[in-house]
Amino acid sequence: MNLTLIHPCIGRIPGKEYIRSWQMEPLQPAYLAALTPTDVSIAFWDDRMEPIPYDLPTDLVAISVETYTAKRSYQIASEYRRRGVPVVMGGFHATLVPDEVAEYAEAVVVGEAESTFPELINDFRNGSMRKIYRTDGRADITSIAPDRSIFRSKRYLKLGLVEASRGCRFRCSFCAVTSYFNGTQTHRPIERIVDDIAALKGTRKLFFFVDDNSVSDPKWAKTFYRALIPLKIRWVGQASITVTYDEDLLALMRDSGCQGILIGFESLNPKNLVGMNKKFNIARFSYDHALGLLKKYRLRLYATFMFGYDGDDLGSFQRTIDFCIKHKIYMVAFNHLTPFPGTPLYDELEQKGLLLYDKWWLDDRYRYGEVPFHSSLDRKLVQDQCVRARKQFYRFGSIVRRMFDRTNAGNWFMLHTYWFINLLLRKEAAQRENYPLGDLGFTGPLLKASPQADMHPSPSVSPTAARRRSAAPVVAQHSTG
């Protein structure tokens, strides 16, 4: 049996190279590869950096879908469906809106794949693949590690991506992670995480723990960080601002090699924080105090902010920019609020009739960076002000001023990284604005999955034979909202 794994890009403009500056190894297909029986041949294609060879023989295609890549995923599925090849889809978007994804996939994995993907492969081999494979509760992630052999020959950033935990215990209303994992978190065994790091240590100078919130369980986090100390690695990760509630935890992070942490500050307006169910951001003490503690322990900060809540006004943007420059924050993201399907935020906006499109992620009129709902501020103003905020924060004067903070310039490695990242983000301030979702060069309608498609594997099948054996697909016009 031949299995093809695809990592889709957001979109593409004919004649232009895809934006490639932040291409890291995607762990989702590496986990699927690890879950696949060893006698199955695997091909992996990263749509961000290489053309997909649709005509190479394969029996089954698997795609992990996020909301921003949904349209492109359906285009890829259509190309394979024209060739008679069935497609399986999973991931965040497939779990949050499975009925939609089921229209474009012969099978859908709802939830984590550890307990269902091996079963799906076995059913496919036996010609009995079902439409929906659903995980009840949380999957067991204690015995699985990603198969990174699929990344050979690919040119990714030299950053070691490692997963230690999944999910987050907080329930922020805008967050797809919360909806996907239902406000829970699970952990991999620490000894397996250490093994992952050891296998990568010779080729990676910096590790990125991709956990949604590495300190969601502070007791576990402390045990984990103690285990990292003997490894003498440098690492970055993601956390909630509650990490600053515990100075012992901050000290352990520093001692374990933490170079920086991403924290969602989201807003300087307490009213907005209450509206997003994130009032814990300032429940213990102020942002100023939290920032002081991060600097005390030499932890560099990647702060993220969102605009578009009712509590925002035109001055919100400049106040936030001034705040970030004043505190000499290492790097900052200024983005507009985005309602992802399946989240409380999306449901609220839909019930109030404030969504501009039926499904913004599929609508041909939508472009990346656009605010897809009616807000108290003009939508175009919010978009433009987010771009202006990035440009102002990453102007040369700001970069130089922030460089002299002793945390940002704490060692030569991170100082070099500081300039690399800040200059890159300066370049990217507006690079993705108005970028299309989906490939503009895609021709023809999206093809819906036929419920009668032949699900039997045929390892020696040619593309022509595949087309002959396929049931005729049902044609669906591209959604325009």
In the numeric block, which tokens belong to residue 352?
């109030």
Which one-letter amino acid corresponds to residue 115?
Answer: S
In angstroms, the Cα distances linking 90 to 258, 434, 452 are 32, 27, 20
For 322, left (φ over 0), alpha (ψ -120 to 50), or beta?
alpha
d(CA 163, CA 196): 9
Print burial letters for 336-361: b (CB count within 10 Å at least 16), e (below 16): bbbbbbbbbbbeebeeeeebbbebbb
Q: Where are the alpha helices (DSSP H) in 182-233?
A: 190-200, 218-228
Q: 348: Cβ–Cβ under 8 A, 6 or more apart, which residues?
A: 173
In angstroms, the Cα distances linking 416 to 205, 329, 403, 407, 409 are 13, 16, 10, 13, 9
Model confidence pLDDT, tens digit, residues 81-138: 999 999 999 999 999 999 999 999 999 999 999 989 999 999 999 999 999 999 888 8
Which one-letter amino acid corresponds to residue 236?
Answer: V
Per-residue pLDDT of the chain (481 residues; tens, 9 = 90+): 999 999 999 999 988 888 766 689 999 999 999 999 999 999 999 999 999 999 999 999 999 999 999 999 999 999 999 999 999 999 999 999 999 999 999 999 999 999 899 999 999 999 999 999 998 888 888 888 999 999 998 989 889 999 999 999 999 999 999 888 888 999 999 999 999 999 998 889 899 999 999 999 999 999 999 999 999 999 999 999 999 999 999 999 999 999 999 999 999 999 999 999 999 999 888 999 999 999 999 999 999 999 999 999 999 999 999 999 999 999 999 999 999 999 999 999 999 999 999 999 999 999 999 999 998 999 999 999 999 999 999 999 999 999 999 899 877 888 888 998 999 899 988 888 899 999 999 988 899 997 654 454 544 333 333 322 232 222 222 222 2
Say what angle helices 27-35 and 117-125 make with each other, to 10 degrees. Answer: 50
Model confidence pLDDT, tens digit, residues 463-476: 333 322 232 222 22
d(CA 342, CA 71): 17
Residue carrying structure tokens 């060692």:
411
In the numeric block, which tokens belong to residue 433?
């604005």
CA angle 169, 113, 155 (to 5 degrees): 95
Instruction: Report CA torsion sign: 78, 83, 88, 90.
Output: negative
d(CA 283, CA 130): 47
Element (H, E) at 447: strand 446-448
> Going from the N-terminus, what domains does the chain have, and what CATH number goes with each?
2-138+450-476 (3.40.50.280), 158-427 (3.20.20.70)
CB neighbours of residue 15 within 10 Å: 7
In the numeric block, which tokens belong to residue 370?
């656009």
In angstroms, the Cα distances linking 453 to 61, 252, 316, 373 are 14, 54, 53, 38
